[in-house]
Amino acid sequence: MTFLIMTKQKKSSVLLIYTGGTIGMMQDVISGELRPFDFKSLTKQIPELNKFDIELSSIAFKKPIDSSNMHPKVWIDLANIIKNNYKKYDGFVILHGSDTMSFTASALSFMLENLNKPVILTGSQLPIGIIRTDGKENLITAIEIAGTLEKGKPAVNEVCIYFEYKLYRGNRTFKYNSSHFDAFKSPNYPALAEAGVEIKYNKAAVLKPTSKTLKIHTSLDNDIAVLKLFPGISKKITSAIINSSGIKAIILETFGAGNATTEPWFINELKKAINKGIIILNITQCLEGIVIQGKYETSSQLKKLGVISGADMTFESAVTKLMFLLGQNISTKEISKLLPKDLRGELTS
């Protein structure tokens, strides 16, 4: 006679980190005004959380932050919270305002090197206390994914955004809609998972786990300018931006596949900036597609000058990658080598 011995699998554990945002708001019955609610009462608003076979703990910022006030200092706080609790939990869920969620997700992806556990950002378009809120489903599924173990290991091991039934790589997203529940898109990279009757993982798209130890980077440098091109942009304004005091890098938002005006004055302004040691990163204004410098005459001069191609990086990823690299105390030459290199799955090599 053969006996099957059943061993009880250890419960997974998830740390919920509340920074602020619409998901944590309650509507005042009298005034209709939105106000932050007591985070400890979350299980009263979402009793389904009590049914999870997951050990759930929470940390809440003392003063909730509107995502429009998000700052690199907060990213550093979040990175340190994850570092200090990394060995205690199998996954992390960050509740965050949707407006700047892609910036935070992108920043954390660079700050958390050798990440082997899920860090999932989520939020909502409607407050958790409103009947039609999207916050409940977003939060419940984000926790479920963060706590999912396959053969004792996390199903996902990167910084992600979960919103409206889809899990995305965080540094590939941008917020494209302020009035629909499907607020985010990842145009140049497929979803990592889709939630329906079951949660289906796109395992080929998920970053491969590493055996290396988690390394936290908390030095960021935001001395960055953005120059978005448009037909008729003036020399006066362009020069003012490029020659602003203290600039170390410029994100050049170009047309199509990385194209820009070939006016001599414009090319000369870029050349002077590069000669001063300013890094110029070329990303496209298009929401989908890739920069290919040299494909057209209007981008070949940029390539010759030493403008760096951002490939298919989002604006959010370009900003935070520059902040991360500028903060590493490495040479301009080394930064120029690392910018076009895929570090955390943020661009297509």
Q: Are strands 279-284 and 308-309 parallel, antiparallel or unpaired?
A: parallel
| Helix-helix angle 315-326:101-111, to 10 degrees | 40
Distance CA 286, CA 154 (A): 34
Is 254 catalytic? The answer is: no
Give the list of residues 6+ apart from residue 27 with CB closer than 8 angstroms, or none.
33, 34, 127, 129, 130
Question: What is the secondary structure of 175-204 as a DSSP string?
Answer: E--SSSS--EE-TTS--SEEESSSEEE-TT
Secondary structure in 3-state letters for 267-332: HHHHHHHHHCCCEEEEEECCCCCCCCCCCCHHHHHHHHHCCEECCCCCHHHHHHHHHHHHCCCCCH
Measuring CA to CA, which residue among 158, 115, 109 is closest to residue 320?
Answer: 109
Task: Please identify which of the residues 2, 7, 19, 22 carries the catalytic annotation.
Answer: 22
Q: What are the b/e assignments for 95-112, b being 16+ CB within 10 Å?
A: bbbbbbbbbbbbbbbbbb
Measuring CA to CA, which residue among 68, 199, 53 is closest to residue 137?
Answer: 199
- Active-site positions? 22
